[in-house]
């Protein structure tokens, strides 16, 4: 009877733990996941329910495959994808998935990007930031808080993860691209109360890759950069990281976002490389869509060597 009771309690505990643990997206085997905020994120905002994948059969396919749309994320994490043995270069890149600050496309602009970075010998760190309604900054601070904390947390683990603390970059897609631009310009202002020693470490990215961004220009009628990205009245931070941009001219989110940001980078004398493609639309990641945008990964790899973060 004692054995049965013990088994019953163990089973009940397991059921309870499973019920409280998000299961819509599970990190791949061989990766390491850390909670971003050990005691909960600033303000402890609550999502309507547990994390869930809201992908349906009616959603568009990219290269014939569906996209995982994760939402109701209230407990953000970072997941570390280490390169295969012998390929580690010491460079690390945090990956910010897109999804309009409503969902996270965790495969298309998440895990698939991490595996590509690993193929270059780069340690990839996937940020599962809070959604929905977590941005764009300054409408909400939540995603920006998560991004700042993530960069500092990775840098604080640099020795443990065999990373050069001066070769930590960010790559973002769509909303994640906007988030990458925000943390690349406003890094001097810690917008949350520090929680531990990791927050004493810089959250400035050493380099930035921005793919099909939104929210980077001031308005629909000009090519001025969004004032939310300017730490001072005279433009972008002059010590911002070198930046790579890529977008398609037929992107419904509008290629002018890249044009405005590139122009602002040049005015601030920040090294920048931009690639505009005639066709490709929006939200393609690395998938083979048959459009010219498929060239961006190779161009980005060359750029990483050009700026010296890959030897």
Rg over CA atoms, the chain: 20
| CATH number corresponding to 32-306 | 3.40.50.1820
Q: Distance (Å, rounded) from C-alpha 305 to C-alpha 279?
A: 26
Taking CA atoms, 1 is separated from 7, 9, 40, 86, 245, in Å, by: 10, 12, 40, 54, 66
CA 202-74-46 angle, 5° bins = 125
Task: Name the pTM for this structure.
Answer: 0.91
* 66: Cα separation from own chain's centroid: 20
Calpha distance 64→190 (Å, rounded): 42
- Quick check: 132 and 102 in contact, CB under 8 A? yes
pLDDT tens sequence for the chain (311 residues): 334 343 333 333 333 333 344 458 999 999 999 999 999 999 865 566 789 999 998 899 999 999 999 999 999 999 999 998 878 999 999 999 999 999 999 999 999 999 999 999 999 999 999 999 999 999 999 999 999 999 999 999 999 999 999 999 999 999 999 999 999 999 999 999 999 999 999 999 999 999 999 999 998 778 899 999 998 767 899 999 999 999 999 999 999 999 999 999 999 999 999 999 999 999 999 999 999 999 999 999 999 999 999 98
Q: Which residue ranges make up each domain of the chain?
A: 32-306
| C-alpha to C-alpha distance for 148 and 143, rounded to whole angstroms | 9
Using an 8 Å Cβ cutoff, are 73 and 51 in contact? Answer: yes
Task: Tell me what pLDDT residue 235 has.
Answer: 85
Q: 244-300 pLDDT, tens per residue?
A: 999 999 999 999 999 999 999 999 999 999 999 999 999 999 999 999 999 999 999
pLDDT, tens digit (0-9, with 9 covering 90-100), for 7-24: 333 333 333 333 344 458
- pLDDT for the residue numbered 85: 81
């Amino acid at each position: 009877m004692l054995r049965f009771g013990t088994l019953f309690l163990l089973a009940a505990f397991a059921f309870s733990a499973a019920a409280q643990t998000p299961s819509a997206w599970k990190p791949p085997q061989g990766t390491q996941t850390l909670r971003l905020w050990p005691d909960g994120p600033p303000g402890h905002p609550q999502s309507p329910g547990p994390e869930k994948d809201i992908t349906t059969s009616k959603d568009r396919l990219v290269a014939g495959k569906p996209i995982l749309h994760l939402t109701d994320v209230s407990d953000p994490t970072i997941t570390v994808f280490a390169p295969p043995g012998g390929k580690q270069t010491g460079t690390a890149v945090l990956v910010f998935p897109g999804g309009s600050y409503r969902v996270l496309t965790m495969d298309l602009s998440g895990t698939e990007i991490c595996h590509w970075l690993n193929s270059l010998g780069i340690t990839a760190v996937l940020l599962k930031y809070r959604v929905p309604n977590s941005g764009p900054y300054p409408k909400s601070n939540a995603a920006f808080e998560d991004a700042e904390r993530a960069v500092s947390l990775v840098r604080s683990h640099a020795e443990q993860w065999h990373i050069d603390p001066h070769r930590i970059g960010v790559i973002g897609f769509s909303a994640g691209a906007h988030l990458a631009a925000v943390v690349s310009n406003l890094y001097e202002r810690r917008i949350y109360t520090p929680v531990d020693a990791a927050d004493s470490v810089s959250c400035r990215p050493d380099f930035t890759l921005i793919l099909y961004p939104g929210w980077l220009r001031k308005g629909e009628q000009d090519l001025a950069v969004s004032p939310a990205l300017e730490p001072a009245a005279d433009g972008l931070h002059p010590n911002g990281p070198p930046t790579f941009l890529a977008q398609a001219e037929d992107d419904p989110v509008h290629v002018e976002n890249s044009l405005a940001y590139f122009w602002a980078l040049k005015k601030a004398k920040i090294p920048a490389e931009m690639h505009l493609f005639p066709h490709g639309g929006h939200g393609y990641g690395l998938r083979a869509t048959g459009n010219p945008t498929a060239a961006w990964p190779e161009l980005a790899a060359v750029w990483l060597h050009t700026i010296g973060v890959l030897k």
